[in-house]
Amino acid sequence: MSLSRSEVGIVGAGPTGALLAIFLQRLGMKVEIYERRSDPRKELSASGRSINLALADRGIHALARAGVIGDIIPAMLPLRGRLIHAPDGATSLQPYGQRPNEVIHAISRLRLNQTLLDVAVRRHGVQVHFEHPLEDADFTGAVAHIRDLRQNRVLGVPMHPLLLCDGAASPMRRLMSSRGLIDARETELDHGYKELTIPAGVDGRHRIAKDALHIWPRGNHMLIALPNEDGSFTATLFLPQRGAVSFQSLADANAIERFLSSSFPDVRALMPNCVAEFQNHPTGFLGTVYASPWHYRGMAGLVGDSAHAIVPFHGQGMNCCFEDCVEFAECVRRHSSWDALFAEFGTRRKPQTDAIAAMALENYLEMRERVADPCFQLQQALALELEKRHPQRFIPRYSMVMFHHEIPYLLAQQRGSIQTQLLAGLTAGAATLADVDFARAESEIKSRLAPIMQEQLSDRA
């Protein structure tokens, strides 16, 4: 019996839940979503903080597969590279790639969520129940208890199955873990984050370049900024939670003012409200979620951040979740039982999400420190030059992750670690590209990189 006529419940109407609902409804299923919050389509985009996300090739590919990319494109703001702000105010652009199509995009999380829900409901007939938080689950009777806040009653929703797209803090994952049905752990970084605002200029325009991701790298902390459609930027400060310079130590307005003015003098002038925002906005935690397995029998399956939330430093969180949806839909075609489907989804997907989780953690050091290092900059320039000379064999790791959805995360990680060794060896003692031995580069690429590509790619075929 095929699963394609199933009735499926999804917990969570965020971007992942909405996109997964579209995929499943297109496969013939009848999907109902339960969401604890109220309908985001009724929110004004002006209200509250504006969170923006990075959308790259993997996310775009998933949206295209779901037939919704045309609806999302108008909300995308292209970013051509990292614009690095040195402490003395000097700026330099590090392009993400070397072709005009190698860009990433900033997108408003709210607008993306609104559009995906609109398409799910209006075009595909998905049913969404807002203000319906999950409270508990009975795994013997295969029934989830979901509260209808409007009527103040508890519904028994059969888990045949229930898909959990309820985010990094997934109540269901914690429930399953606490009852010993799965193993799960949440590892927290000792750095946190805080959102600040760079308002639009008086003419409504962006006050710094709007086609770049701005970074103020300062060693053990950094500020980044992504453009919004309304001319403003959402800036995010990443800082240790505790220690000499930390969220804990910056306890009053004077200390905050001194810190921001000395670390980021150029952008401080563009953030008139940053001290008050620092005091009033919550400090966010950064963490990685690991779980195994991602399901309990054919009843409950984790998809997206609930299964594998990662830190934001590679801009891949949402992209990785959207790739989950593509893989999940592929698995639907191959299985006739939910238990088997969940098992295969986890087996195929977890090595990949483990790889991006590790690369995202590594990227924090790169963003806050290495981008400002001349040695790193030479290696980056060499990587782009090697890609130019050997386009089939050498693609910088960042490009593999961001611009090549056809290269799995794990393969990008494996090739990347060999490439890092090659780049370090080739630039040892070199001051400029002219000092690099390109004949040696070519022979090492052939002997060390080519085999892993062939092997891994034929594994997938």
Residues at the contact surface with its own copies, assessed by CB under 8 A: 57, 60-61, 64-65, 67, 69-76, 78, 99-101, 103, 105, 111, 115, 118, 122, 391, 403, 405
Minimum separation from the CB atom of position 402 to its own copies (A) = 10
State in angstroms the smallest separation of the CB of 138 from its own copies: 38
Kindly tell me which of 103 and 386 has the beta carbon lying closer to its own copies.
103
Residue 5 structure tokens: 């006529």
Least CB distance from residue 69 to its own copies, whole Å? Answer: 5
Least distance (Å) from its own copies to the CB of residue 107? Answer: 12
Two tokens at 83? Answer: 């614009």
- Residue 260: name the closest of 231, 222, 291 by CA: 222
Question: Quick one: 105 or 147, whose CB is closer to its own copies?
Answer: 105
Residue 8 CB, shortest distance to its own copies, in Å, is: 22
Rounded to whole angstroms, the Cα distance separating 283 from 276 reads 13
Q: Are strands 81-85 and 213-217 parallel, antiparallel or unpaired?
A: parallel
Taking the least distance from each CB to its own copies, the nearer of 327 and 362 is 327
CB of 80 to its own copies, least distance (A): 8
Most distant pair of Cα atoms in the chain: their distance:
73
Q: How far is the CB of 440 from its own copies (least distance, A)?
A: 25
Q: Please state, in angstroms and as integers, the Cα–Cα distance from residue 317 to each residue in 67, 269, 412, following that order.
A: 21, 31, 16
Q: What is the dihedral sign for C-alpha 34, 39, 41, 46?
A: negative
Report, in Å, the least distance between residue 60 CB and its own copies. Answer: 4
Closest distance to its own copies from the beta carbon of 449 (Å): 18
Closest among 138, 255, 281 to 196, alpha carbons compared = 281
Q: Which is nearer to its own copies, 48 or 100 (CB)?
A: 100
Tokens 């400060």 -> residue: 237
Q: Which is nearer to its own copies, 62 or 237 (CB)?
A: 62
Nearest CB to its own copies, comparing residues 397 and 405: 405
> CB-wise, 401 or 426, nearer to its own copies?
401
Q: Is 82 in a helix, a strand, or coil?
A: strand
Q: Are 52 and 234 in contact, with CB atoms under 8 Å apart? A: yes
Distance CA 174, CA 158 (A): 19
Q: Closest CB to its own copies among 104 and 289?
A: 104
- Dihedral sign, Cα of residue 101, residue 107, residue 112, residue 113: positive
In the bound state with its own copies, the residue whose beta carbon lies nearer, of 9 and 59, is: 59
Residue 30's DSSP bridge partners are: 7
- ∠114-115-119 over CA atoms, to 5°? 120
Report DSSP state, residue 394. -
Q: Which residues of 349-370 are buried (b: 16+ CB within 10 A; e: fewer)?
A: bbebbbbbbbbbbbbbebbbbb
